[in-house]
Amino acid sequence: MQRVGEVMNRQEIRKMLKTVLKEDQISEKESMKKHTSFRIGGDADFLVLPSSIAELQQLMRMLNEKQIPFFVMGNGTNLLVRDKGIRSVVIKLARNISNYGIRGTDIFAEAGLSLSALSRIILEEELTGFEFASGIPGTVGGAMVMNAGAYGGEMKDIVKSVLVMDEKGLIFEMKGEDMEFGYRTSILSKQRLLVLGATFSLEKGNRQEIQEKMDDYALRRNTKQPIQEASAGSTFKRPEGYFAGKLIEDSGLRGVSHRGAQVSQLHCGFVINKGDATCEDVLELINMIKKTVYDKFQVSLEEEVRLVGEE
Ligand SMILES: Cc1cc2nc3c(=O)[nH]c(=O)nc-3n(C[C@H](O)[C@H](O)[C@H](O)COP(=O)(O)OP(=O)(O)OC[C@H]3O[C@@H](n4cnc5c(N)ncnc54)[C@H](O)[C@@H]3O)c2cc1C
What are the residue ranges of helices labelled H in the chain? 4-7, 10-17, 53-65, 115-124, 140-146, 207-224, 244-250, 279-297
* pLDDT confidence bin for 2, thresholds 50/70/90: low
CATH 3.90.78.10 spans which residues of the chain? 226-308
Supply the pLDDT for residue 71: 97
CATH 3.30.465.10 spans which residues of the chain? 100-223
Is the Cβ atom of 244 under 6 angstroms away from ligand 1? no
Task: Provide the angle, in degrees to the nearest 10, between the axes of the packed helices 10-17 and 53-65.
Answer: 140
Supply the pLDDT for residue 4: 64
Q: Which of 274, 276, 278 is nearest to 228 (CA)?
A: 274
- pLDDT tens-digit map of 110-166: 999 999 999 999 999 999 999 999 999 999 999 999 999 999 999 999 999 999 999
Query: What is the ipTM score, two decimals?
Result: 0.99
* pLDDT confidence bin for 5, thresholds 50/70/90: low
Is the Cβ atom of 306 under 6 angstroms away from ligand 1? yes
Question: In percent, how much of the chain has pLDDT > 90?
Answer: 97
CATH 3.30.43.10 spans which residues of the chain? 4-92
Going from the Cα of 291 to the center of ligand 1, the distance in angstroms, rounded, reads 26
CA distance 195 to 93: 9
- pLDDT tens-digit map of 261-310: 999 999 999 999 999 999 999 999 999 999 999 999 999 999 999 999 99
CATH T-level fold of 100-223: 3.30.465
CATH architecture of 226-308: Alpha-Beta Complex (3.90)
The mean of the pLDDT values for the chain is: 96
Would you say the C-alpha torsion 101, 103, 104, 109 has a positive or negative sign?
Answer: negative
CATH architecture of 4-92: 2-Layer Sandwich (3.30)
CA distance 129 to 210: 9
Supply the pLDDT for residue 1: 52
Q: For 20-42, what is the mean pLDDT?
A: 98
Q: For 7-28, what is the mean pLDDT?
A: 94
Q: Which residues are the active-site residues?
A: 184, 234, 304
Supply the pLDDT for residue 211: 98
Residue 8 pLDDT exceeds 90: no
- pLDDT tens-digit map of 161-182: 999 999 999 999 999 999 999 9
- pLDDT tens-digit map of 50-102: 999 999 999 999 999 999 999 999 999 999 999 999 999 999 999 999 999 99
Going from the Cα of 72 to the center of ligand 1, the distance in angstroms, rounded, reads 12
Supply the pLDDT for residue 7: 65
Is the Cβ atom of 86 under 6 angstroms away from ligand 1? no
Mutate to test the pocket of ligand 1, among 90, 136, 147, 164 (most ligand atoms within 8 A of CB): 136
Q: Whose CA is nearest to atom 3 of ligand 1?
A: 233
